[in-house]
């Protein structure tokens, strides 16, 4: 997910040839072809982490807890590791004044601990144990509102607000171990239902996790923007 940070930085500023980010090809902010190419080339470099910028390794990404209740289903996902984000593809980059639009396509695996209780659409579900979710070709569209701040005479970017949408194009596979206290018959029925109706199930189960991933990306972007002034990021 570290790679997302550089993608967004490229989107916002067309990263110039500054010493803080020598791994990114400088682009003018209006040159969308250059921005896209530069961001995609930077992905494997950023995935390894950039400790000098305080940005941690983001593939795998660790999420301590995502807990929510919606549509009659109580969900608690813990100790989740997300892998595959380094292979995301940039679909679209666009700036419109203070707004920036970033579209990405990713395939990711999530594994961790879960607790579920309530109804999964129409089916009762109850369990606690290990879980795995495989998502193939999820398109995430993120819109940012960018501001500026001044510190010691230098101007820096800030992310004032953001929102996102997501849609899976190819498929989702769910695996929840130890459903119904290990009752295989009930567990098999739930898994067959969930994996046959993955699109509807994804819309009920996954949005809080996707939002948590995007939020964690923004934490890393903030670290980057806090350290690198705008005049080191823009190619005029």
Query: Distance between CA 93 and CA 28 in Å, rounded?
Result: 13
* Binned average pLDDT, 10 residues per bin, the chain of 236 residues: 51 49 70 78 72 82 92 93 90 80 91 95 94 96 91 88 94 96 95 95 87 84 76 67
Residue 130 belongs to domain spanning: 2-232
Neighbours of 193 (CB within 10 A): 18
Cβ proximity of 220 and 5 under 8 Å: yes
Q: How far is CA 210 from CA 41, 108, 183, in A?
A: 24, 11, 30
- Rounded-to-integer distance, Cα 177 and Cα 181, Å: 9
Inter-helix orientation angle 32-47/2-13, to 10°:
150
- Of all residues in the chain, what percent are helix, strand and coil, respectively (each to 5)? 35, 45, 20
- Work out how many domains the chain is built from and give that number: 1
Domain containing 119 — which CATH number? Answer: 3.15.10.30
Q: What is the pLDDT of residue 125?
A: 95
Tell me what pLDDT residue 14 has: 45
Rounded Cα distance between 106 and 140, Å, is 8
Helix (H, G, I), strand (E, B) or coil at 181: helix
Report yes or no: 106 and 84 within 8 Å, Cβ to Cβ.
Answer: yes
- The pTM of the full predicted model, rounded to 2 decimals, is 0.85
pLDDT value at position 58?
Answer: 82
Dihedral over Cα of 103, 171, 216, 110: its sign: negative
């Amino acid at each position: 997910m570290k790679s997302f940070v550089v993608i967004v930085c490229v989107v916002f500023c067309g990263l110039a040839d500054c010493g803080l980010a020598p791994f990114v090809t400088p682009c003018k902010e209006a040159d969308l072809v250059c921005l896209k190419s530069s961001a995609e080339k930077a992905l494997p470099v950023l995935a390894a982490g950039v400790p000098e910028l305080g940005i941690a390794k983001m593939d795998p990404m660790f999420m301590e807890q995502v807990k929510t209740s919606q549509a009659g289903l109580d969900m608690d996902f813990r100790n989740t590791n997300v892998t595959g984000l380094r292979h995301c593809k940039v679909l679209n980059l666009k700036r419109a004044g203070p707004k920036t639009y970033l579209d990405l396509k990713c395939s990711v695996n999530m594994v961790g601990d879960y607790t579920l209780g309530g109804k999964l659409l129409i089916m009762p579900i109850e369990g606690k144990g290990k879980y795995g979710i495989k998502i193939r070709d999820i398109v995430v569209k993120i819109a940012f509102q960018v501001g500026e701040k001044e510190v010691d005479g230098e101007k820096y970017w800030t992310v004032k607000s953001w929102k996102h949408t997501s849609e899976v194009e190819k498929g989702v596979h769910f695996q929840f171990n130890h459903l119904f206290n290990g009752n295989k018959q009930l567990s098999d029925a739930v898994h067959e239902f969930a994996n046959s109706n993955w699109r509807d199930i994804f819309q009920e189960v996954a949005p809080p996790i996707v939002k948590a991933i995007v939020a964690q990306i923004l934490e890393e972007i903030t670290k980057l923007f806090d350290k690198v002034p705008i005049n080191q990021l823009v190619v005029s």
